[in-house]
Structure 1
Amino acid sequence: MSKNKIIALSDIHIGTNAPTVWYQKDIHEPYLVTILDWIIQNASSIRELILLGDVLDFWTYPPHEEPPNFDAIIAANPAIFGANGKLSEVLTALDGKVTYVRGNHDMNITQEDLDKLENPKGYKIQLSPEDVYYPLGNSNKKIACTHGHIYTMFNAPYTPNNASNPIAPLPLGQFITRSVAFMRNNDLQPGQTVAQLKDSGDPDNKNLLSSALPQVMKAIENPNIPITDIILDTISKATGMSETQSIKLTGGRETTLEEGKKIYANLWSEWQSKQGKSIAIKSILADTALYDGFLGWFAQQLAQDVGAELVVMGHTHKPISGIVNSPIKYVNTGFNCPSTVDLGKKNATFVQIDIEAYQAEILQVSQEKGFYNIKACPANPVDNKAELEIGNYTIKLNFDPNTAVDQIIKFVTSDKKFLISVVNETKYDLQYVGVKNDSGHWTLGDIPANTSISKEVDYNSVSNTFSLGANYQFIDGLGFIQLAASWPVTGTRKIAVGNINQDGNAPAEKVWREMQDSSDKSSSNDSVQVRAFMTTQGKTVIWNYEVTQR
């Protein structure tokens, strides 16, 4: 059998299993072992394994802890990295054909580090000297593999020519991740880890980067306001970490957010000078927009630049397959340590590449009744005709490198008002009995019978966003209704209704979590019906809810 397959695996984020580390051995190791066992079993058709960045994690540690070195992470995970561990077995099965491509969380990995991994036959993992790896050789660039962080302003290695980064190559993103680890470390209960939290490992760190986007876009037009000051001020406020909090780095050095402002003060101007304004803004959005189209845009540009037919990336933590209406084939490997809350909705994923057809298939590990299996992973393409909501307006995303970005700046910096309007056409009062305030605050209280109430949303004043839900009870015993609304920095504005017959906050949260889009909604029980729909009046966007008796 010919060896016509390559496996790409990324974003495992293996660390010391400390509470703030996304990968926790007791949860995620069985998924990783399943993937590595599958590679061993199919070695006769596999030419190479590519570890496509962020396989190890040196960032997700609170600032008072010095991040581990390579040896400490290896020692903490012997079943994977030991001389008789699964990765060593893969090395033997593939006759040593394993290549490591750096990501942002492991950009300090060296060949000397990898040489420490023992293998009975003396095989060694080879470190790609470049951040873009061509597995068919530099003379045949039909397949291009890269983690993807090199195209993002806040996570690309930062090595300015004037040596203004004393902690090079660490980028701004390392400060953000350490700040989030500070917050998590303070919030976790004894015995709890971040792997038990929803959306653990979100690459935008719970939308903290996205929340700064409107101010960042304003600053782009004002050279006297460094965008890094805005980013780090937002992060400091959101996580509760002081600008002067000491951040320990590997090797004994320490830094602070305050020093970070000085180190990255020229970050925007350097990217703009080197890449041009349009591409520099796209590099910001690729990190902050929570929209995978922008990294897909860079994938397409890479393919066009080198003549690739297939581009494989990681970094987004989402499996992606294709770009709509594009001749370029693009896949993203996804994420390999979803939290216990997310498992099932998010799974450990990897990519199998056919080197003859230049095709790629995304596979996933599923766990059913204690058994782990490999199966195909459904994944959506990036839609290059999709609409993207940023701040208060909608823009259309396309892959034309000459697309004007002035519109983006205008869209995210304009003012807009948001209203919640509830019309209670029944003869019964609605009593406010529960809430889910993810961002902003629900401002409506009780709603009397035959009354219409409209109030402006108490939204996040930094990011101009909100996402919330409320639970109401009919005081005469007709039951409960739930109302939910969301205006994100990016993504899709949403509206939802429900009729869960339960008191308290839980129903509000459930309906809030299940919001999907802005289309009209309705919900009913034997006594009442609720209709939800969105309208606009000038610069005002209104979330409308009509409650009627049946």
Structure 2
Amino acid sequence: MKTIFISDTHIGQNTPENWYQKSVHEKYLKAILQYVQSNAEDIQDVVILGDWFDLWMYTPQPQISATLNNIINNNLNVFTKQSDGDFITCMDSIQGNLYYVHGNHDMNIDFNQVNKYFAPLSSKNKQVICTDRIYGKNGIYAEHGHYYDTLCKPYSGKTDKYKPLPIGYFISRIAAWWCEKQLKKAGKSNSSELQNQGNPSANDFWTIIFDNDFYKIVFTMPDGTSIKRSDVLNLYPDLVTSWEDVTKLLTVDLNNCLDNYGANLCNDSYNGVKNKVVVMGHTHVPTMQQHLNSVYVNSGFMCPAVPDVSDGNMMMTFVEVDQNSSSYTVTIKKVNYPDTSIINYNQCIV
């Protein structure tokens, strides 16, 4: 039986700075959901491995209005039953369950709210199986990956009134602000038309923090309170003292790429069972690395900008793990642009 892993869809309210733009990315996401539905008799579980919803990629002002209900209502073609692929039919058609693991961009999504919406729509009385950090079953171990990222793991310090939001939350909103500036400068309508969206760069952040307007930023938070850019660092005194420190940490996290953590997890076990397949997301880069009799694989990204996917710098990918009595066939599957066909991008057997 097969297990499908999809991460980093980043579905939001389709505001211009959101990475996921339904006018561009919806048909590719639906192609994956249709693939699941067409092969449902061979699929045990589908795991949404974090950043399913995006509560971070919004400009500092005005106040963020993104909630689970708002996001769903802005994307009904994937959150209601459709003939060409949707999450509800996907959940009902597979042999096992639809699982949802928190990422960083959706760490505040309430699991009860997820099933308040999903469960009544199921024709088979199913509900989404929600878990905060880990999916583990039969030698397959998976998590989003942000717990290994200093800037993005849930913050547990004593001073942050907005915890568990980490400093990465504010970095994302700064990135959204920068995207808005670049859209206006280039005369573009949304982030899908700009290069290097969803592909974080420490060099880009150096440029941002020295922009004259950066010092004027005020963040209006989801609860209606406001915080100045200059006061954000005071929330994380154990991590940073300057925005230059933030950029240095960003460089370290990007260079780590989760690969070392994936290798370590390949040599570990979960609930007493040796990890044969380790899956993570978060980095937006599809990766496959074999470690003796185990494999680490990254599921990649589902909403790159058109210029990035057109020139081959980024891809839309997901992971399929086919387990039998003696082995695991692990495949990174690529959704082709622009025709939405699905092909094997990389594969190994352990």
Aligning the two structures, in what range does the TM-score lie when normalised by the shorter sequence? Answer: 0.7 to 0.9
- Structure number with larger C-alpha Rg: 1
Please give the alpha-carbon distance, in whole angstroms, between the structure 2 residues aligned to 1:314 and 1:239: 34
Q: Which residue of 1 is the match for residue 197 of structure 2?
A: 200
Q: Secondary structure of the equivalent of 2:33?
A: helix
Asked if the contact 1:183/1:240 (under 8 Å) is kept, the reply is no
1:284-295 aligned within 5 A:
287-289=253-255, 292=257, 295=258
Matched, 1:334 2:300: yes
Corresponding residue of 1:72: 70
* Structure holding more helix per residue: 2
Mapped partners of 1:157, 1:238: distance in 2: 28
Is 1:54 aligned with 2:22? no
Question: C-alpha displacement at 1:113, in angstroms?
Answer: 2.0
Are 1:358 and 2:331 an aligned pair?
no
Q: Equivalent of 1:255, from 212, 218, 227? A: 227
* Aligned counterpart, 2:245: none
CA RMSD, 1 decimal:
2.5
Match of 1:236 in 2: 209
1:428 is matched with none
Letter in structure 2 aligned against 1:319 = P
The alignment partner of 1:322 has SS state of strand
The Cα of 1:123 is off from its aligned counterpart by 2.1
Question: In the aligned structure 2, how far is the partner of 1:10 from the partner of 1:377?
Answer: 16
Match of 2:102 in 1: 102
> In structure 2, what is the Cα distance between the partners aligned to 1:87 and 1:99?
11
Q: Distance in 2 between matches of 1:151 and 1:301?
A: 12
**Structure 1 unmatched ranges of 5 or more:** 137-141, 212-233, 270-281, 381-550
Q: 1:284 to 1:195 in 2, by over 3 A?
A: closer
Unaligned runs of 5+ in 2: 242-247
Q: 1:283 to 1:95 in 2, by over 3 A?
A: farther
Contact kept, 8 Å, 2:41 with 2:95, in 1: the verdict is: no
Residue 131 in 1 paired to residue 126 in 2?
Answer: no
Q: Given the alignment, which residue of 237, 261, 265 partners 1:298?
A: 261
Q: Which moved more, 1:145-154 or 1:336-345?
A: 336-345
Aligned AA for 2:317?
A: T
Residue 87 of structure 1 corresponds to which residue in structure 2? Answer: 87
TM-score w.r.t. length of structure 2: 0.86
SS in 2 for 1:49: strand
Q: Distance in 2 between matches of 1:255 and 1:125?
A: 35
Query: Is the partner of 2:160 in helix, strand or coil?
Result: coil
Q: Secondary structure at the match of 2:307?
A: coil
C-alpha deviation, 1:25, in angstroms? 0.3
Partner of 1:485: none
- Asked whether the equivalents of residues 55 and 105 of structure 2 are also in contact (C-alpha less than 8 Å), the reply is yes
For residues 212 and 276 of structure 2, what CA distance do their matches in structure 1 show? 42
Larger fraction in strand: 1
| Letter matched to residue 126 of structure 1 | I
Instruction: Kindly provide the amino acid, as one letter, of the partner of residue 158 in structure 1.
Output: Y
- For the 8 Å contact 1:143–1:358, the answer to whether it is kept is no
Q: Which residue pairs with 1:469 in the alignment? A: none
How far, CA to CA, are the matches of 2:86 and 2:315 in structure 1? 20
In structure 1, C-alpha distance between the alignment counterparts of 2:155 and 2:208, rounded to whole Å = 19
Q: Distance in 1 between matches of 2:31 and 2:156?
A: 38
Farther off after superposition, 14-23 or 189-198: 189-198
Instruction: Deviation per CA, 1:183-210: give whole Å up to 9, x if none.
Output: 22123135511110112111x246345x
Contact kept? 1:179, 1:239, Cα under 8 Å:
no
Q: In the alignment, residue 167 of structure 1 is paired with which amino acid?
A: Y
Over residues 315-362 of structure 1, what are the superposed CA-to-partner deviations in whole Å (9 max), with x where a residue is unaligned?
A: 111111114x65431000011111111224132110001233233100
The amino acid across from 1:148 in the alignment is: G
What does residue 27 of structure 1 align with? 24
**DSSP 3-state at the match of 1:20:** coil
CA distance in 2 between counterparts of 1:87 and 1:145 reads: 20
What is the aligned residue count?
326
Distance in 2 (CA, whole Å) between partners of 1:133 and 1:283 is 28
Distance of aligned partners of 1:253 and 1:304 in 2 relative to their CA distance in 1, 3 Å threshold = farther
Name which structure has the greater RCO, CA cutoff 8 Å, separation 6+. 2
Against the structure 1 CA distance between its residues 93 and 61, is the aligned structure 2 distance closer, same or farther, given a 3 Å change threshold? same
Shift, 1:285, TM fit: 5.5
Q: Cα offset for 1:262?
A: 0.9
- Are positions 1:317 and 2:284 aligned together? yes
SS of alignment partner, residue 31 of structure 1: helix
Deviations along 1:83-126, one digit per CA (max 9) or x if unpaired, are 55710110110256100011111111121121123424232212
CA contact (8 A) 1:180 1:205 kept: no
**Aligned partners of 1:12 and 1:55 also within 8 Å:** yes
Amino acid at match of 2:224: G
5 Å matches for 1:326-405?
326-344=292-310, 345=312, 346-356=314-324, 357-367=327-337, 371-378=339-346
- 1:176 has 2:171 as partner: yes
Instruction: Give the CA deviation at 1:287.
Output: 2.1
Q: Output the amino acid matched with 1:372.
A: T
